[in-house]
């Protein structure tokens, strides 16, 4: 069994207006860099997004499977897009959008972070600060 926290980019009207009004700004560049990261740019893109406070936690997922130490990225992606098989339970903690490129999957059981890439996942060594209200 494993527990995951999903972080997604904030998608408020203020963010959209900021990017539309200043498309060449550092903020806009950092936000858009997460739309098509490569293995060479992934870590920097995530670090820039974290620096600009672009991520928010949106879901907790609990993998009920007891099959070894699996890391079911495809199953997590499917569940995050509402077509999973039910072996992963999702608890929304904010209004999540569908899982997509640029989202972070934090494996709380193994203390690992992965970035959703255009094809597959990329493990990233980053430090995330969790604020408890």
Give Cα 117 distance to the centre of its chain.
Answer: 10
Give residue 67's pLDDT band: very low, low, confident or very high (50, 70, 90): low
Residue-range domain boundaries for the chain: 2-124
Looking at residue 133, what is its pLDDT?
A: 52
Contacts of 133 (CB under 8 A, 6+ apart): none
Looking at residue 87, what is its pLDDT?
A: 81
pLDDT tens, residue by residue, 2-56: 899 999 998 889 889 999 999 999 999 999 999 999 999 999 999 999 999 999 9
Return the residue matching tokens 């999702």.
90
User: Which token pair is 126?
Assistant: 């980053």
Looking at residue 130, what is its pLDDT?
A: 61
pLDDT tens, residue by residue, 69-91: 555 788 889 888 888 777 888 89
H or E stretch including 109?
Answer: none
Give Cα 32 distance to the centre of its chain.
Answer: 14
């Amino acid at each position: 069994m494993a527990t995951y926290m999903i972080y997604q980019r904030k998608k408020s009207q203020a963010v959209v207006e900021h990017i539309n009004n200043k498309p060449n700004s550092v903020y806009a560049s950092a936000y858009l860099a997460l739309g098509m990261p490569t293995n060479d740019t992934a870590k920097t893109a995530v670090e820039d997004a974290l620096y600009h406070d672009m991520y928010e936690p949106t879901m907790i997922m609990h993998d009920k499977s007891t099959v070894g130490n699996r890391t079911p990225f495809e199953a997590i992606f499917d569940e995050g897009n509402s077509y999973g098989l039910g072996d992963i339970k999702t608890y929304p903690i904010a209004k999540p959008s569908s899982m997509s490129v640029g989202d972070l999957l934090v494996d709380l059981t193994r203390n690992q972070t992965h970035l959703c890439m255009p094809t597959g996942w990329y493990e990233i060594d980053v430090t995330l600060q969790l604020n408890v209200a």
